C-alpha cells in the first residue's frame, strides 16, 4: 500500500484533543480553533529483501569508487566504523541494520583473506557503548568474533596515542581523527541516516574526531549560521564538516561510505496508536491511549522510563547506498526527504511541540533539562527546510515534565553545567567564551569519559549551542508541565497548562496569534514555503 503523505490540519470545533508527548507521559490538548496541526508522512514501504539490497549496494557503488569486493586484498588493514547508540531513535528492533551490513562486509573481507580488521563505534564525544548496546548494534556473531581480541571497541577521542592530526583546511579548521582510520588501507563507514543532519562527511569527520577538530563546527557561530543544520545546503555545520571530509580524502584516507535510510515506523504494537491521526484511531487504539495515559500518570517516572526504554522501533529499511561519500549522501538525502518532508505554507507566531521521552543523548538514560532544551530548540525547531516554522520573535511552547534530574554516570558534566554555568548565564556566546575550555579539558570529566560511560565534559555546552539558533530567533520559550525551577534556570517560562502558556505567549505575539503544532514523533520535517 502506498504511504499517505503528511498533512496540515486546520483545527475546527470538531477537532478532537491532540495527543502531545510529555516526556514519559502523554497529554491531550485541545488547540484553539484556527490552529494548524502538521502530521508526518506515513511510513514508506520498506524494501522486501534487505540482504539483497545491501549486497547490491556493495557491488554497485555510487561515484568514483570500485565495488567493495574489489577493494579487499590479503594483508590489508581494514577498519569498519559505525554509528553509535544515538542512532536510530528509539533503538531499532533486532536485527539492527548496522549488524546486517557489517556481516556482509566481513564476509567479503573473509573471502578476500583480510586478517587485520578493526571495528570502531564512532561515538566522538558521546558516552561509550556498553557490551549489550554493542551486541545489539553489530550482532552477537560479530561481537563474539572481534570484541574478545580487542578488535571491536569504542572510539576514544581523548587517547593521545590513537589520534592523528592531518592538517588544517583552507578555512582554518583542524582535522584530527582516529589513527587506526588514518593508517587503514580502507575505512568502511556504516551509517544510519535517520534525519537529514546525519551522514556524508559528518560521519567520519565527526564520529572519529577529537575535541580539537569538533570545536571548529560545534560552536555558537556555526550553529547560528546553520539555517538549519537539518538542511545541509544551508548549514554552516555541514559546510565545515565537508571541508574537513575533503581534507581527509586529500590526506589519503580511503573511505567507503555505506548509508541507510529508514522509514518512520517508530512505535511497535501496542504503542502503534502514537503514530495514528486522532480521528483514525480504532477503538483498540483509543483504549490503549486511555489506558497508557492513565497508567503513566499514576506510575513513577522511573517505572515509566523503564517501559519506554524497552521500546524497539520496527523501522523498515527504505534504501541503502554505498561508495564515494558525497555521491552516496546525495541519494541518501533524497530518500530522507521523501520520508520526512511535509509542505507547510507560511510561518506561525506560536509553535507548539510535545517532547517525547528520548533524544539522541539519553538512550537508556535520563532526559535532563539541558537535553529537553536541546531536543525542542535544537532538534525539533531545526526540522525545517526553507525558513523556520515559527516567525522571528515568535514563541515556542513545549510540553515536557523537565525534571531537575540527571544521570550521574552518563551526564556528570551536565550536572555542573546546570548548577554552575546556567546559574551564571544562559547566553551561549558568553558560556562558550567563559566556560567551555575549562570543562573540555577537565581531567576528571576526561577520566570518566575514557573509563566510565560518561559524555565528554564539553558535551553539555554543545547541547546548549544546539539551541543557539532558536534562542536567537525566538521571542520566548515556554515549557508546559515542567519543573518551574529547572525551566527558569534555563531562562524559559514555565506554565502548568497549554492555555496558560498561550496566555503568556500573547505578551510577545499579541492577542490573536497564529498557532501551529508539529505532531512529532514520528519524525517530520517542515518544508516551509
Partner 1 sequence: MSDPNRRTAVPHFGGRGSGKGSGRKKASVTRIARNTEFPLRAATTPKGQTPLPANVGSNYETDWARRFPARVARRVARDTLGRAIVHYYARPTIKGVDRLSELRGPAVFAANHQSHADTAVMVTSIPEPWCNRLVVGAAADYFFGNRFSSAISALFVGAIPIERTSVNRRNIDQAVALLRSGWSLVIYPEGGRSRDGWGQQFRPGAAYLAKQAGVPVVPVHIRGTFDILRKGRAWPKRARSVVNFGRPLDFADDDNNRRFTRRLQAAVEGLADETATGNWFAARRRLHSADSPGLEGPSASAWRRRWTLTEPAPASGADPPGDAAASKRRWPYV
Q: Which stretch binds partner 1 (CB under 8 A): 135-143, 174-182, 286-294, 434-442?
A: 286-294
Cell digits for 58? 556493495
Least Å distance between CB 6 and partner 1?
12
14 binds partner 1 (CB under 8 A): yes
202 binds partner 1 (CB under 8 A): no
| Alpha-carbon distance values, 87 to 26, 191, 287, 331, 406 (Å) | 23, 9, 31, 19, 21
In whole angstroms, give the CA distance from residue 393 to residue 380: 17
- Measured from the CB atom, the residue of 14 and 161 that comes closer to partner 1 is 14
Contact pick of 5, 17, 130, 529 for partner 1 (by CB under 8 A): 17
5 binds partner 1 (CB under 8 A): no
Contact pick of 6, 9, 118, 224 for partner 1 (by CB under 8 A): 9
Query: Residue 83: which of 244, 186, 202 has the closest Cα?
Result: 202
283 binds partner 1 (CB under 8 A): yes
Least Å distance between CB 13 and partner 1?
9
52 binds partner 1 (CB under 8 A): no
Contact pick of 279, 300, 443, 511 for partner 1 (by CB under 8 A): 279
For residue 230, give every residue at least 6 positions away whose Cβ sits within 8 Å of its Cβ, in sequence order, or none: 195, 196, 197, 382, 383, 384, 385, 525
Specify the residue for cell string 547566553.
427
Least Å distance between CB 304 and partner 1?
15
What is the DSSP code string of 108-156? HHHHHT--EEEEEEE-TTSPPPPHHHHHHHH-HHHHHHHGGGT-EEE--
What element of type H or E holds 366?
none
Cell digits for 356? 517525547
377 binds partner 1 (CB under 8 A): no
282 binds partner 1 (CB under 8 A): yes
For residue 479, the SS3 value is strand
Residue 167: how many CB atoms within 10 A of its CB? 13
15 binds partner 1 (CB under 8 A): yes
- Measured from the CB atom, the residue of 67 and 403 that comes closer to partner 1 is 403
281 binds partner 1 (CB under 8 A): yes
- Measured from the CB atom, the residue of 7 and 112 that comes closer to partner 1 is 7
Cell digits for 526? 517542515
Specify the residue for cell string 581523527.
177
Contact pick of 21, 23, 24, 27 for partner 1 (by CB under 8 A): 27
Q: Which stretch binds partner 1 (CB under 8 A): 2-10, 410-418, 454-462, 519-527?
A: 2-10
In this structure, the dihedral spanned by the alpha carbons of residues 511, 345, 481 and 381, taken in order and rounded to 10 degrees, is -120
Contact pick of 66, 115, 297, 334 for partner 1 (by CB under 8 A): 297
What is the DSSP code string of 231-291? SGGG-HHHHHHHHHHHHHHHTT--EEEEEEEE------TTSGGGGS-GGG--HHHHHHHHH
Contact pick of 3, 16, 268, 426 for partner 1 (by CB under 8 A): 16
Q: Which stretch binds partner 1 (CB under 8 A): 10-18, 48-56, 70-78, 128-136?
A: 10-18
Contact pick of 70, 290, 295, 529 for partner 1 (by CB under 8 A): 290
Q: Residue 483 half-sphere exposure, CB side, CA atoms within 13 Å? A: 14
Contact pick of 78, 163, 289, 383 for partner 1 (by CB under 8 A): 289
Specify the residue for cell string 570529566.
445
Least Å distance between CB 276 and partner 1?
9
User: 100 forms bridges with which residues in the sheet?
Assistant: none
30 binds partner 1 (CB under 8 A): yes
Least Å distance between CB 178 and partner 1?
48
494 binds partner 1 (CB under 8 A): no
Between residue 93 and residue 122, which ones bind partner 1 under the rule CB under 8 A?
none
Contact pick of 499, 503, 507, 529 for partner 1 (by CB under 8 A): 499
| Cα 333–Cα 338–Cα 340 angle in degrees, nearest 5 | 90
443 binds partner 1 (CB under 8 A): no
Least Å distance between CB 21 and partner 1?
13
138 binds partner 1 (CB under 8 A): no
Q: Which stretch binds partner 1 (CB under 8 A): 274-282, 348-356, 419-427, 451-459?
A: 274-282
In whole angstroms, give the CA distance from residue 447 to residue 352: 40
Please state the three-class secondary structure of 303-363 as a single string: HHHHHHHCCCECCCEEEEEEECHHHHHHHHHHHHHHHHEEEECCCEEEEEEECECCCCCCC
Q: DSSP label at 162?
A: G
> Do the Cβ atoms of 80 and 118 come closer than 8 Å?
yes
Between residue 462 and residue 491, which ones bind partner 1 under the rule CB under 8 A?
481
Cis omega (within 30 of 0) on the bond before 395?
no
28 binds partner 1 (CB under 8 A): yes
Query: Residue 21: which of 281, 286, 372, 341 has the closest Cα?
Result: 372
505 binds partner 1 (CB under 8 A): no
345 binds partner 1 (CB under 8 A): no
299 binds partner 1 (CB under 8 A): no
- Measured from the CB atom, the residue of 170 and 279 that comes closer to partner 1 is 279
Cell digits for 323? 561508495
Q: Which stretch binds partner 1 (CB under 8 A): 28-36, 231-239, 368-376, 511-519?
A: 28-36
Contact pick of 130, 497, 507, 529 for partner 1 (by CB under 8 A): 497
Number of residues that bind partner 1 (CB under 8 A): 26
- Interaction site with partner 1 (CB under 8 A): 7, 9-10, 12, 14-17, 22, 27-30, 278-283, 286, 289-290, 297, 481, 497, 499
Amino acid at each position: 500500500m502506498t504511504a499517505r503523505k503528511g498533512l496540515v490540519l486546520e483545527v475546527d470545533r470538531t477537532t478532537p484533543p491532540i495527543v502531545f508527548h510529555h516526556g514519559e507521559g502523554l497529554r491531550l490538548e485541545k488547540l484553539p480553533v484556527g490552529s494548524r496541526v502538521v502530521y508526518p508522512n506515513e511510513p514508506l514501504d520498506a524494501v522486501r529483501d534487505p540482504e539483497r539490497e545491501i549486497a547490491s549496494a556493495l557491488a554497485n557503488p555510487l561515484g568514483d569508487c570500485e565495488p567493495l569486493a574489489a577493494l579487499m586484498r590479503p594483508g590489508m588493514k581494514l577498519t569498519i566504523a559505525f554509528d553509535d547508540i544515538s542512532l536510530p531513535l528509539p533503538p531499532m528492533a533486532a536485527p539492527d541494520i548496522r549488524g546486517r551490513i557489517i556481516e556482509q562486509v566481513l564476509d567479503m573481507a573473509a573471502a578476500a583473506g583480510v586478517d587485520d580488521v578493526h571495528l570502531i563505534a564512532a561515538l566522538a564525544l558521546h558516552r561509550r557503548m556498553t557490551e549489550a548496546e554493542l551486541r545489539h548494534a553489530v550482532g552477537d556473531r560479530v561481537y563474539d568474533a572481534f570484541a574478545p581480541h580487542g578488535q571491536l571497541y569504542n572510539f576514544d577521542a581523548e587517547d593521545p596515542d590513537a589520534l592523528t592530526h592531518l592538517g588544517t583546511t583552507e578555512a582554518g579548521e583542524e582535522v584530527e581523527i582516529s589513527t587506526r582510520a588514518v593508517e587503514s588501507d580502507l575505512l568502511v563507514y556504516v551509517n544510519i541516516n535517520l534525519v537529514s543532519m546525519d551522514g556524508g562527511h559528518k560521519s567520519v569527520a565527526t564520529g572519529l574526531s577529537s575535541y580539537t577538530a569538533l570545536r571548529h563546527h560545534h560552536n555558537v557561530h556555526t550553529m547560528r549560521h546553520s539555517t538549519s543544520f537539518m538542511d545541509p545546503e544551508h548549514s554552516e555545520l555541514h559546510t565545515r564538516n565537508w571541508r574537513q571530509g575533503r581534507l581527509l580524502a586529500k590526506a589519503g584516507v580511503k573511505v567507503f561510505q555505506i548509508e541507510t535510510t529508514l522509514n518512520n515506523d517508530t512505535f511497535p504494537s501496542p504503542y502503534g496508536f502514537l503514530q495514528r491521526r486522532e480521528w483514525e484511531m480504532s477503538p483498540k487504539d483509543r483504549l490503549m491511549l486511555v489506558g497508557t495515559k492513565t497508567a503513566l500518570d499514576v506510575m513513577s517516572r522511573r517505572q515509566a522510563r523503564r517501559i519506554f526504554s524497552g521500546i524497539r522501533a520496527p523501522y523498515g529499511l527504505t534504501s541503502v547506498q554505498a561508495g564515494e561519500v558525497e555521491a552516496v549522501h546525495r541519494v541518501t538525502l533524497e530518500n530522507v526527504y521523501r520520508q520526512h518532508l511535509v509542505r507547510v505554507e507560511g510561518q506561525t507566531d506560536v509553535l507548539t511541540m510535545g517532547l517525547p521521552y528520548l533524544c539522541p543523548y539519553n538512550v537508556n538514560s535520563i532526559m535532563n533539562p539541558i537535553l529537553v532544551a536541546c531536543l525542542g530548540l535544537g532538534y525539533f525547531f531545526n526540522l525545517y527546510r526553507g525558513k523556520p516554522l515559527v516567525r522571528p520573535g515568535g514563541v515556542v511552547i513545549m510540553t515536557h515534565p523537565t525534571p531537575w534530574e540527571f544521570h550521574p554516570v552518563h551526564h556528570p558534566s551536565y550536572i555542573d553545567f546546570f548548577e554552575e554555568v546556567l546559574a551564571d548565564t544562559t547566553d551561549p556566546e558568553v558560556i562558550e567564551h567563559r566556560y567551555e575550555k575549562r570543562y573540555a579539558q577537565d581531567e576528571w570529566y576526561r577520566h570518566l569519559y575514557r573509563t566510565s560511560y560518561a559524555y565528554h565534559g564539553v558535551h553539555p555546552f554543545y547541547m546548549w549551542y544546539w539551541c543557539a539558533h532558536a534562542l536567537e530567533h525566538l521571542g520566548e520559550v515556554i515549557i508546559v508541565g515542567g519543573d518551574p525551577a529547572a525551566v527558569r534556570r534555563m531562562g524559559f517560562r514555565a506554565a502548568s497548562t497549554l492555555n496558560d502558556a498561550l496566555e503568556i505567549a500573547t505578551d510577545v505575539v499579541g492577542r490573536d496569534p497564529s498557532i501551529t503544532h508539529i505532531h512529532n514523533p514520528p519524525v517530520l520535517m517542515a518544508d516551509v514555503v
